[in-house]
Structure 1
Amino acid sequence: MKVATQDPARLRDVLAGPGVDITGQVGSAELHVTGLTAREIGLKAAEHGIPLFELSARTVSLEQAFMDLTRDAVEYHGTTTATDTLGSVA
């Protein structure tokens, strides 16, 4: 989930818990939260009086999801051989 708020540090503290992953850049109002639903995030923010500017599901293209899942899989390995291709031309 993508969440934006005026107080991301406080929201991070409120949402933190087992199975919850929260990332964001220092100085940014935006956090990316996994492990909680939009409903759970909204209710916890409201319970603690934290206004939200944005609360939306992060969508990833099918291609990006595939690339993320197969990032470490290598089907083909390239090889190089060092051969001397220099010859004398008459």
Structure 2
Amino acid sequence: MSFATSRWLSAEFVENARAPGYALFNASLTYRAPDDRYSIQAFVRNIGNEAVYNGTQQYPFVANYNGQDIAPPRTWGARFRARF
């Protein structure tokens, strides 16, 4: 779990560059072979599908406008690893 309170995304401290707080949950389940030659993992990132703002860009020619970077939405998948 990751948690953050509301925070500023820019050094100018303008109100539209303030990101809300969030709680982010991730999970994974891994099986490893007894000889550790291979493993299989299933994972889910951002289980709650939260919009997490992690950056901003300021546009100097548009008054008081900031573009926001948003972290990826819910992502799930599997990994297979093998040792040779």
The question of a shared fold, defined as TM-score above 0.5 by the shorter chain, is answered with: no
Q: Shorter-chain TM-score category?
A: under 0.3
TM-score w.r.t. length of structure 1: 0.20
The structure where strand makes up a greater share of residues is 2
**Higher helix share goes to which structure?**
1
TM-score between the two structures when normalised by the length of structure 2: 0.21
Q: Over alpha carbons, which structure has the higher Rg?
A: 1
